[in-house]
A = this chain, B = another copy of it.
Amino acid sequence: MNTMSAWGMGIESTASAPPALSGSGKGKKVLILGAGLAGMTAAYELEKLGYKVQVLEARSFAGGRCQTARKGFSLTELGGEKQTCAFDDGQYINHGPWRIPLHHQSTLHYTKLFEVPLEVMVNDNDHAYVYSENAGPFAGKRLRVKEVKADMRGHVSELLAKSVKSHQLDQELTADDQRLLLDYLQHEGALTANDLQYKGRSGRGFKVNPGAGLNPGPGTPSDPLGFKDLLASKLGNVYSAVQDFPMQNTMFQPVGGMDAIAKAFEKRVGKNIRYKAEVQTIRQNDKGVTVTYKDTGTNKLGSISADYCLCAIPLSVLRQIDTDFSDKFKKAVATVAYAPVGKIGLQMKRRFWEEDDHIYGGHIMTDLKGINVISVPSYGFQKKKGVLLGYYQYQTAAIEISALSPKERAEFALAAGQKIFPQYTENFENAFSVAWHRVQYNLGGWAEWTDKTRAAAYPTLVEGEGRILLAGEHLSYLTGWQAGAIESAWQQIAKIHERASA
């Protein structure tokens, strides 16, 4: 029963299950390049269809960008020094993907199927701070998001109510609609009943919280921020009427770290993965595909042939591999930009953001250069220590900071974040950072399409060439999301199956 179709409203079409494919792949072999989520999704589904599946993975572990840094996890960026994560047991940072939106039913298909326990990832916390150094009258001050939302919407509601009452909207709205609009504005803005003014509200927080007895008793209300100050600060523009797709509640994270998803796949398809197999050449003809690889442990070369190949290697890496793709296809592979992205996890000896600031999970938005956001963990509430995300950089900032040593990156994150949380220095213990554009076999956080490259290269890449199809988040409009990788794999294995069954 598709209950949704019984309703006229709120229908959303979404890819929530692998393609229902009939027939069998028996006797046919598919070679999959890359054991990230796209590659492993394909391996899992194709094997169920009867295909012989072989996966080549350059690393010694599966998952691609679906990684979690915890005690002992090590990373050596290209040209960088080796970092080994020194977080306490039970502490971790998802330095790759860290969120599973409710809309990503494809990812949720596998967490359910593989029984990967999920917990809520606090992605929306109006009690968190917003901190801007360029916020006019509020520059360098911490505000709570709720203050900005309550006061901006309160003042704006008051302003519009005034327009209605002074008959400036008589042309736009009937008398009935004006009355309904005033009711709405009074509610939305918490305006006073008699004169429709905004004078603050409980949702912006109290000066003294309500409590027991006579004191504090009902508590003491707080005063709203001034409308003109708020306008000048532009802080109202940090938030919006509603969280944009796909950022809405409910957001999830796997209990214990995002790599639980990678491990769940690996448990099922790991037997078909050859690790430390770095692809060297890709060749195809009418009969099949042949890939040579280097075993990075032994430095020996090997070769595998198959009827079809699904290449789930990031384009940033694929374009450095020796292939016999057509010039047009090679150009398409080469044309897509990859995002410089940096993240850092900072282990703190005390969860001061909870204890002092009462922020339990969620993001502190900031315009501090190279920081962007400080995100506090949605696991281990009220425990002793915690690992927070100290920055999440893109573009120029990510490139600049990535040139620093791991130690210098931590120093940068601490010095900047200290402006928001003065508790940083005395609580910092250790850090783990990643600059995805400097990570071998990734060379970027995700594919960064523009209208121009979508037009020039996307259809070509989606189509594949001959017996080779590509898959990954880069072949979706969910770039940077695990769902993009999974749904891309779903589409491409359907095409392989169609061609193989022809």
Task: Indicate if the CB atoms of B120 and A244 lie closer than 8 Å.
Answer: no
Task: Indicate if the CB atoms of B183 and A234 lie closer than 8 Å.
Answer: yes
Task: Indicate if the CB atoms of A478 and B240 lie closer than 8 Å.
Answer: no
Say which residue of B129, B156, B243 sits within 8 Å of A126 (CB atoms). B243
A106 to chain B, nearest CB (A): 8
Task: Indicate if the CB atoms of A187 and B3 lie closer than 8 Å.
Answer: no
The A interface, classified by DSSP as helix, strand, loop or mixed, is mixed
A165 CB–B CB distance under 8 Å: no
Stretch of A6-14, A264-272, A399-407 lying at the B interface: A6-14
Q: Which residues in window 219-233 of A have CB below 8 A to B?
A: 219, 228, 231-232
How many copies of this chain are found per oligomer? 2
A425 CB–B CB distance under 8 Å: no
* Separation of A11 and B232 alpha carbons in the complex (Å): 22
* A159-B149 contact given A189-B241, A209-B15, A241-B190, CB 8 Å threshold: no
Smallest Cβ-Cβ distance to A157: which chain B residue: B241
Residues of B close to A301: CB separation below 8 A: none
Q: Which residues in window 137-165 of A have CB below 8 A to B?
A: 138, 141-144, 146-147, 149-150, 152-154, 156-157, 159-160, 162-163
Task: Indicate if the CB atoms of A187 and B127 lie closer than 8 Å.
Answer: no
A381 CB–B CB distance under 8 Å: yes
A269 to chain B, nearest CB (A): 20
Residues of B close to A190: CB separation below 8 A: 240-241
Task: Indicate if the CB atoms of A203 and B122 lie closer than 8 Å.
Answer: no
A349 to chain B, nearest CB (A): 14
Residues of A within 8 A of B (CB-CB), count:
121
Smallest Cβ-Cβ distance to A485: which chain B residue: B212
Task: Indicate if the CB atoms of B241 and A211 lie closer than 8 Å.
Answer: no
Stretch of A66-74, A248-256, A322-330, A336-344 lying at the B interface: A248-256
Task: Indicate if the CB atoms of B9 and A143 lie closer than 8 Å.
Answer: yes
One digit per residue, 1 when the CB lies within 8 angstroms of any chain B CB and 0 when it does not, for chain A 165-192 equals: 0001100100001001101110111100
Residues of B close to A150: CB separation below 8 A: 241-242
Residues of B close to A108: CB separation below 8 A: 382
* 7 A/B residue pairs, CB under 8 Å, sorted by A: A1-B423, A103-B209, A124-B249, A180-B234, A210-B477, A213-B488, A250-B361
Known: A4-B357, A125-B248, A126-B248. 14 other contacts (CB 8 A): A9-B141, A12-B207, A12-B209, A13-B207, A13-B209, A15-B211, A118-B382, A119-B120, A119-B381, A124-B124, A149-B242, A154-B241, A180-B232, A213-B487
A residues with a Cβ closer than 8 A to B are 1-4, 6-15, 102-103, 105, 108, 111-112, 118-120, 122, 124-127, 129, 138, 141-144, 146-147, 149-150, 152-154, 156-157, 159-160, 162-163, 168-169, 172, 177, 180-181, 183-185, 187-190, 201-214, 216-219, 228, 231-232, 234, 236-237, 239-245, 248-250, 252, 352, 356-358, 360-362, 378, 381-382, 422-423, 458-459, 462, 475-478, 483-484, 487-488, 490-492
